[in-house]
Amino acid sequence: MEFRDLKRQYQVLKLDIDEAIQSVLSSGSFIMGKQVVELEEKLAEYVGVKHCVSCANGTDALVLALKVLGIGEGDVVFVPDFTFFASAEAVSVVGAVPVFVDVDSETFNLDTKDLEEKINYVKALGSYNLKAIMAVDLFGLPAMYDEICSIAKINGLYVVEDAAQGFGGRIGDRKACSFGDISTTSFFPAKPLGCYGDGGALFTNNTAWAEKAMSYRMHGKGESKYDNVTIGMNSRLDALQAAVLQVKLNAFIQNELEAVNNVAKMYMEELQHCVHIPRVPNNFYSSWAQFTITLEDEKLRDSLQLFLKNKGVPTAVYYPKPLSSQPVYAQMSLPSTSTPVANDLCKRVLSLPMHPYLTEQEVQFICSSIKEWKTTML
């Protein structure tokens, strides 16, 4: 059994993917081009925003978003302490300061009450420009955008949505990648919509920002490629990746998103009386980048992980350390923040195999193994 079985997905989509790749090879055009423009149009339409600007990976998408918003030296961006490193790294790359905010223990996303407290705290320090909230749609679940956007509005902050794991999620009928002033995603192979290498994109309804992003991703180009009006990056999507993504987007829309939700439903039903299962708030829909359970403490988490490993069930700990404890941030003198929930979760979380091609028998086996472990613990 695999944690995320990309080989099975390829076997199912092989004919279409091989054909898409062949057509790029025959075209002889590899960077940007027709496939990329088509993909951007399809993604913007699916998400329901005016513009999608693709780029080289999800981290660059965040950097591009922050650059477009003019965020840099002396600016503060509020970032959840429980997420992948890149959410904060992008803030540091543009020279701004990440201030870490605690998360909710059941949704794993930004705790909006703590967000307000951290905002007031940094305001009182007086020495920073408060610029943006980076909300992360962790494990596929959109963050609490109604609350986050109203906090942003009151405080004059931008919202950047890091939907690297969130593509396909929804609140009501509004889709992930549409909640931020600028939203971003990643096409890293293991993300909900993944390609066969690195890839990413940003989304916005603001035409001037989309144009800026298109310039930044291509060395700050002006009228033409050899007219450079600003310091940009080299961050473009390959035609091969765009061709693969067009095939995978179809499969994602037609059945994969539903399939992961069926797997999640089985996990929930089987495990609800056995371990802490993740909470999906009313009216929210997750794209299940991860299915993450929570154990009572670190010892039990590690014990279950070992038990499952011996049964041939791979699991992962996302994340073993809060960002504020990463060596690079621990040694910086950032505005001090306490994030007890994030620290606690790192000791207790365990992510189970999750992908659209898991069979019912496999999910049953995983769940019965967890139940068996539980009886050995009593």
Ligand X SMILES: *Cc1c(COP(=O)(O)O)cnc(C)c1O
Instruction: Name the residue with tokens 């495990």.
Output: 271
DSSP H or E run through 347: helix 340-348
Work out whether 198 is an interface residue with ligand X (CB under 6 A): yes
Tokens of 80: 């959840």
Q: Is 333 exposed, middle or buried (0-12, 13-18, 19+ CB in 10 A)?
A: exposed
- Among the listed residues 75, 102, 162, 238, the single contact to ligand X using CB under 6 A: 162
Nearest distance in Å: CB 59, ligand X: 3
Neighbours of 105 (CB within 10 A): 18
Residue closer to ligand X by CB (options 88, 130) is: 88
Of the candidate spans 126-134, 160-168, 328-336, 350-358, the one that interacts with ligand X by CB under 6 A turns out to be 160-168
DSSP H or E run through 182: strand 182-186
Measured in whole angstroms, the distance separating CA 69 from the mean position of its chain's CA atoms is 20
Helix (H, G, I), strand (E, B) or coil at 151: helix
The 215-254 site mask, x for binding ligand X (CB under 6 A), equals ----------------------------------------
Instruction: Name the residue with tokens 């596929």.
Output: 140
- Among the listed residues 9, 35, 54, 59, the single contact to ligand X using CB under 6 A: 59
The 85-124 site mask, x for binding ligand X (CB under 6 A), equals -xx-------------------------------------
Q: HSE of 81 in the Cβ direction (CA atoms, 13 Å)?
A: 31
Helix (H, G, I), strand (E, B) or coil at 107: coil
Count, residues near ligand X per rule CB under 6 A:
15
Nearest distance in Å: CB 187, ligand X: 7
Of the candidate spans 4-12, 30-38, 157-165, 344-352, the one that interacts with ligand X by CB under 6 A turns out to be 157-165
Work out whether 288 is an interface residue with ligand X (CB under 6 A): no
DSSP string computed for 286-339: ---S-EEEE-SSHHHHHHHHHHHHHTT---B-S-SS-GGGSHHHHTS-PPP---
- Contact indicator for 203, 179 with CB cutoff of 8 Å: no
- Return d(Cα 62, Cα 73) in angstroms, integer: 16
Work out whether 290 is an interface residue with ligand X (CB under 6 A): no
Of the candidate spans 12-20, 51-59, 225-233, 329-337, the one that interacts with ligand X by CB under 6 A turns out to be 51-59
Tokens of 82: 């429980």
Work out whether 351 is an interface residue with ligand X (CB under 6 A): no
- Among the listed residues 78, 188, 285, 357, the single contact to ligand X using CB under 6 A: 188
Work out whether 171 is an interface residue with ligand X (CB under 6 A): no
Nearest distance in Å: CB 362, ligand X: 24
- Contact indicator for 130, 76 with CB cutoff of 8 Å: yes
- Contact indicator for 71, 94 with CB cutoff of 8 Å: yes
- Among the listed residues 43, 94, 115, 164, the single contact to ligand X using CB under 6 A: 164
Which residues contribute to the site for ligand X (CB under 6 A)? 57-59, 83-84, 86-87, 136, 162, 164-165, 186, 188, 198, 200
